[in-house]
Each structure stands twice: as structure tokens, then as C-alpha cells.
Homo-oligomer: A and B are copies of this chain.
Amino acid sequence: MPLSDSSGRSNLESVFHPRSMAVVGLSPDPHGTWLNQVYLQSPLSAGFKGPIYPVNLKGGHIGKLRVYPSLRDVPGPVDYVVSCVPAQHTPKLLGDCASAGVKVVQLYTAGFSETGEGEGIELQNRLLEIARRGRMRLIGPNCMGVYCPSSGMSFSLDFPKEPGNVGLLCQSGGNTIYLIRSGAARGLRFSKGISYGNACDVNECDILECLADDPETKVIAAYIEGISDGRRFADVLARAVSAKPVVIYKGGYTEAGSRATASHTGAMAGSQAAWDGLIRQAGAIRVDSMEEVADTLVALVHVKPPRGLNACVVGIGGGASVLATDELEKDGLKLPPIPVPLQEKIQQIIPPAGGMLRNPIDAFPLTRLILYRKGAGGGQPVSVARGDKGWGDFISLIEEWQDIDLVVFQFAFDIPPIPADNWVAATIEPTLAAVRMCRLPSVVVFHSVVTDASWQASRRMQDICLAEGIPFFLSLRGAAQSISRIVDAGKTHGSRPAGKRA
């Protein structure tokens, strides 16, 4: 495999679409170890199309699969090798790989440059030498590897099997898993994801370049601890941003955090000022945690881009409305007061007793009747339509309001004095019907979830949102921050973010 294509760009075809795999160092123990689950059962269950060969000196079987004593014994060509052998045995393994014509080796094992010790650094350099001589690409060491639903590559049994439009480069394996899992639960799907650890060969620039060019990738998310070539990274990042939105969490932005990255992947963190400048100049979206990466992706992929930050905030509960207002405004949204003539119209639907009509709007009176009717025992679903003198007409009035750019529907789950189930049936379900109807950019925020009952009810409401393509957030802060960020990104670049409402 050539190290780069004719344009000089990295060719990662065999990284994401190998025709066959071998996993070296798995235990044939009948109970299996967790690594069997990770590197054998996960791609098998994700539908990897080519053969997967377990390799272990001891031979034997793992389930129905024969374990081959060495790479030489494998009955066919191997494109991609996962190495789970201890660090000191990796040079030998890489030699075998080169002889066997392997194209990519992913090294799960740690104990290399990230230890900060001469021995580990030297070992890593040796691997790189062997790989270069053998024209192989290395992923890692000290990483989880590749997730690519379209080729059936995976390293966790619960990753979605269907592909999507988010491309992920992530220096940490755990953070990769967290983002894929939490993204999946929020309706995101991925084109490609890669946990690349110490980045001794395939690095952030190679992957970013690949994702920038990848037609299946519409949005890029990155967790980066450090970079080796600042100038190339700046170039590649600027080019990626010109093609699609790029969200970056630079792990280790605090002093201790930067020490942590050195110890985690051996990354040279670089100064914060340099990172700030680099990311801002390229026009990428900088965030401060993995949760914020997920929130910003949801905003980019699922929210109809608002023109600006003026929000109308609708919810149930007075204290919850005050709290929501504080948190949303603190984190970037603006809540203009409702014009008096519009307030008077809304008052026909939501009487001021028990409600709040000045933005935020406490729509409790709309649901109180439902709640009284249903009592504590539940009842039939409530229909919502324009002309209903309820939620439907309320939405029509809000749509008349020219000053606002989006509507935030916010729900605190653990504020009602009665069981979550009845409350949710009377308040949130009808509201979601109203959200579906709303022509303005809209987001839903489910927050203040503490009890099991609220967790379950919130999950059911999330499922409705997923099924209906309604974007939702799990914290007020996350919603406000990420909406601000996509509006900001849209302004800076004179164009809208790529995503639109699903």
C-alpha cells in the first residue's frame, strides 16, 4: 500500500476498509477475556465481511473460530492486524506482519512513548522503523482502533451498526467509546471513528485530511491531546473547516490537564494561546469536554440553524422556568420580552394565574386541565392541532413573533409532586406534539432527572424525539452553549452549518 496517494495525501483505505483481519494475542480461554469481546465479537457482530483470524501461540479455538499459532499459519492474506501482545513482543510481531504483507497494524497495547521512559520511546521508534520498511501503517500504539460501520469494523458490541455522517478522530479510546455511545443515544450516527493513541504513524493530520475528503462525512469531531506538526495541522484543519464543520475538544487545556496528556499518550500539549489561535483562525468550533462535543454535534446535525440567539423559552413550572432562563442566558441565549399585543393574545390561551407570560413562558395552565382530567391515574393521549385553543394555537401565536430565532422547550423531570409517569403523559407528550408542529427552529431540553422514574420517563420522551427527528439536549447549559456555537460558526464563515433538521 502506498503511504500516500498521488496528491500526497494519506491513503487510509486499508485502515477503514481492510479485506481481512487478524487479532493477535487473544486468549483461547473458553470463558474468554474482555479483549475477545472487544476485538473479535464486536467486528463479527458488526458484520465485518472478510475473514477474522485469531492468532495465539497456544492455538486452540475461541468459540467456533480456530486460533492460529502464528500469522504464518493463517490461510489467506491479512490486510489489518490488531495487536494485543505485550509491548516487548511487538517488534517481533511487526516483523511477521511485514513478511505476511499486512497493510495496517493497530496496537492496542500500551507501554511505549506515553510512559515517558527511554525504553518505551525507543521501542516505539523501532516499531515505526519496521513499519516504514515494510510499507505498513501503524495505528497507536496505546489505542482502541477503528470503528467503521460500513465495513463492519468495531470495538464495542453496542456501537450502532448503521453508518451516519459524523467522522470522529479521538486520541483516547475511552472518549471515543463515550462519544459514539452518547451520540448514538442522541440520534447521531458515524461514518468513521478512530481512537489513535500515541499517533506514532497515522496521526491527527492524516485522519483529519481523510475525513475532510470523505464524502460520507458531513461533520467532524475531534478529541486531540497534542500534535506533532503544527504547521501541517493548521493547513489541514483550515481545509477541513472549509469543507465541513469541525468540533474540537483539545484535551488537557488546564495546566494539570496538559501534564495528564503527556502521561496518557505522550502528547506535547502545546500552549493554550497557540491552540486558541490555531482553532480560531481555522474557524473550527472549540469546546471544553466530551459532553460538549456530543451537544455541539447534535446542534450541527439535528437543529434547523437559527438566524440568531433570540429564544422564546417554554416549559412547565415557575421555578424551573426561572432556572432555565438563568442557565440559558448565562450560556449565550437571549430572551427578549414578549411584545404586549402578543402577550394579550397568548393570555387567551394561557391565563396568567399559574402561568408566566413574559418569556420564559410557564405553560402549566395548558397542561393543568389535562392533568386534572387524567387525575393521578393517567388517561388517553391528548391531541394537539391548530385551532385547538390549546398547544396548537399557542404555537401559531409564537410563530407570529418576528423577534425570535428559536424556541426552547424545557422540562424539569423531577419537579412535580406526583409520579413522573402521569406528569409526563399530561405535560411533555402533548408538548412534543406541539414541537413537531412548530415551524421555527426548535430544541427540547430534558433536565433535572434524578429518580429512576424520571430517568425512564425521560428515556421514553427521548425515544419519541428520536423517532420524530426532534433535537433534544440533556442539560440547559449544553443546549445554550451549543446553539450559541453553531450560530457563531455560521456567522464567522458566512455560511450555515452543514446540518439540517433530520
Contacts and interface: CB of A to CB of B under 8 A. Distances in A.
Nearest to A319: B172
Interface of A: 29, 31-34, 36-38, 42, 87, 109-111, 115-117, 120, 142, 144, 155-158, 170-178, 181-182, 185, 223, 225, 251-257, 259-265, 288-291, 317-323, 325-327, 329-330, 334-335, 337, 352-354, 356-360, 362, 371-372, 375-377, 412, 414-419, 422, 448, 450-452, 455, 459
A173 B319 CA distance: 7
A223 B319 contact: yes
Contacts of A318: 142, 172-174, 264-265
B37 A418 contact: yes
Q: How many copies does the complex hold?
A: 2
Given A172-B318, A264-B362, 13 more contacts: A33-B372, A34-B375, A42-B417, A109-B353, A117-B352, A120-B353, A174-B412, A176-B319, A178-B414, A256-B325, A256-B360, A260-B356, A265-B318
A323 B255 contact: no
A178 B450 contact: yes
A451 B177 CA distance: 12
15 contacts: A32-B376, A36-B376, A120-B353, A174-B415, A177-B414, A178-B320, A251-B323, A252-B325, A255-B329, A256-B334, A256-B360, A257-B326, A259-B359, A264-B322, A291-B448
Contact of A175 (B158, B173, B320, B357): B320
A80 B362 CA distance: 29
A353 B88 CA distance: 11
Contacts of A111: 352-354
A326 B33 contact: no
A427 to B, nearest CB: 12
Contacts of A32: 375-377
Contact of A325 (B120, B260, B417): B260
A155 B259 CA distance: 50
